[in-house]
């Protein structure tokens, strides 16, 4: 392999691929990226067995070829180079790098050692609206489980509906459901790893041009998300996703209209005093006011009064502050509705102007 490529293009591709590499893998090859050059340019590939990321970078290819090198070493070295043309040459199982007076040699491994990468589908990817897809994913991803105890909960359930698509994620303590009308290119119900979808969101957010993305199925059954010069591949998760619809409250006895930023600040301050007390934050509703409080004897106590428009009876309920903080960090609207029925039933958070999104948090049982 013998190619020339701009430093900024090479660094962008390496940085993007490096995000999915697992530093805990016992297999040395999994710490590597695959560099593959042909007449179309340079392709950089990384995988963690669950997800594979392929980034294409424009390059002048004088001799096709490829090599696997340690991702971290190569990325850090390229980041140290000036924004000039970088010359990459494979010789004697090593990658030789030179640019503007800099030169380095990194030992590599044969491309045959890298996990097999499925061929691209011959079908043209289905084009979907990137903005709608990213909004839906951002609305639910944070609620997916990170604990591998129940693998199916580490994914996002995507269902085709009559008028679009439904996205749902839960870890057993909270649930986010987002309906996206008009997004009809996703096929039947599937559960897609949240970590892979998180990378889809990152890449989609980084790419400013073109408001679309491609979605296709590869011959080996993987899903492929195509955004600009990047392709993210992942397998769907096996198993039956829980019937989450049954835990969404159908009625409520109390409804609050709240300013999102005021509630966000109140919860954030209460979380400081809740860290050493199981992250418990209390809501007290009375006289058109929501009082957010927390109390840990060794740390201190705190309370914040948040103005609210209250419909229904007052009451008390407690939640895990981490769940509240993460929900509010991902909620984009200026106002929200909070609905509850007593202290032992799930609390529901919704937008004011539409019913396309619902976030449910299970309450924490506390002594009065």
Rounded Cα distance between 66 and 111, Å, is 6
% of the chain surpassing 90 pLDDT: 84
% of the chain surpassing 70 pLDDT: 97
To 10 degrees, the CA torsion angle through 298, 304, 309, 312?
20
Can you give the pTM of this predicted structure?
Answer: 0.93
Which CATH code of 3.10.150.10, 3.30.1540.10, 3.40.50.300, 3.10.20.30 fits the domain covering 126-243? 3.10.150.10
Q: Considering just the CA atoms, what is the radius of gyration of the chain in Å? A: 24
CATH fold label, 2-113 = DNA Polymerase III; Chain A, domain 2 (3.10.150)
CATH code of 248-361, in short, is: 3.10.150.10
Of 41-50, 208-217, 233-242, 330-339, give the lowest mean pLDDT range: 208-217
- Contacts (Cβ under 8 Å, ≥6 apart) of 359: 143, 174, 175, 176, 177, 327, 331, 348, 349, 350
Long-range contacts of range 355-358, CB-CB < 8 Å, 24 or more positions apart?
356/178, 356/179, 356/180, 356/181, 357/139, 357/176, 357/177, 357/178, 357/179, 358/175, 358/176, 358/177, 358/248
Residue 328, strand partner residues: none
pLDDT at residue 132, rounded to an integer: 92
| Nearest by Cα to 53 from 229, 283, 259 | 229
Residue 316 has phi, psi (to 5 degrees) of -135, 145
In the chain, where the domains are located = 2-113, 126-243, 248-361
Residue 211 has pLDDT above 90, yes or no: no
Is the CB of residue 201 less than 8 Å from the CB of residue 134? yes
Residue 148 has pLDDT above 80, yes or no: yes
Give percent helix, percent strand, percent coil of the chain, each to the nearest 5. Answer: 25, 40, 35
Mean pLDDT for 133-138 is 95
Residue 7 has pLDDT above 90, yes or no: yes
Residue-wise pLDDT for 149-188, tens only, equals: 899 999 999 999 888 999 999 999 999 999 999 887 666 7
In sequence order, what E strands does 125-262 have?
A: 126-129, 155-160, 164-170, 174-181, 190-193, 212-217, 223-227, 230-234, 254-259
| Of residues 22 and 105, more confidently modeled | 105
Q: pLDDT band for position 232 (50/70/90)?
A: very high
Beta strands 309-312 and 254-259 are antiparallel
pLDDT at residue 121, rounded to an integer: 62
Average model confidence (pLDDT) for the chain? 94
């Amino acid at each position: 392999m013998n190619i020339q490529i701009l430093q900024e293009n090479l660094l962008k591709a390496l940085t993007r691929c490096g995000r999915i590499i697992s530093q805990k893998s016992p297999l040395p090859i999994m710490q590597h990226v695959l560099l593959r050059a042909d007449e179309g340019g340079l392709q950089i590939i990384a995988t963690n067995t669950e997800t594979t990321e392929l980034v294409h970078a424009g390059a002048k290819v004088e001799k096709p070829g490829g090599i696997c090198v340690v991702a971290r070493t190569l990325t850090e070295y390229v980041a140290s180079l000036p924004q000039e043309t970088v010359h990459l040459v494979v010789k004697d199982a090593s990658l030789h790098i030179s640019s503007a007076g800099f030169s380095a040699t990194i030992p590599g491994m044969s491309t045959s050692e890298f996990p097999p990468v499925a061929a691209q589908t011959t079908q043209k990817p289905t084009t979907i609206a990137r903005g709608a897809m990213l909004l839906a994913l951002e609305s639910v991803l944070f609620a997916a489980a990170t604990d591998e105890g129940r693998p199916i909960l580490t994914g996002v359930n995507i269902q085709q509906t009559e008028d679009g698509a439904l996205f749902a994620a839960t870890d057993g303590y909270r649930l986010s459901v987002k309906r996206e009308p008009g997004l009809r290119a996703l096929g039947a119900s599937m559960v897609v790893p949240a970590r892979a979808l998180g990378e889809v969101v990152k890449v989609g957010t980084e790419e400013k041009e073109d408001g679309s993305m491609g979605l296709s199925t590869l011959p080996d059954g993987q899903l492929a998300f195509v955004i600009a010069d990047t392709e993210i591949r992942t397998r769907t998760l096996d198993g039956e996703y829980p019937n989450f619809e049954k835990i969404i409250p159908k009625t409520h006895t109390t409804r609050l209209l709240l300013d999102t930023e005021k509630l966000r600040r109140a919860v954030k301050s209460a979380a400081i005093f809740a860290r050493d007390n199981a992250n418990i934050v209390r809501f007290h509703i009375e006289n058109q006011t929501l009082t957010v409080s927390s109390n840990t004897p060794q740390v201190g106590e705190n309370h914040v009064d948040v103005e609210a428009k209250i419909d229904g009876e007052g009451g008390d309920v407690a939640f895990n502050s981490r769940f509240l903080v993460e929900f509010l960090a991902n909620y984009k609207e200026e106002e929200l509705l909070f609905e509850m029925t007593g202290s032992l039933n799930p609390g529901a958070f919704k937008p004011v102007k539409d019913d396309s999104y619902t976030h449910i948090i299970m309450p924490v049982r506390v002594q009065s």
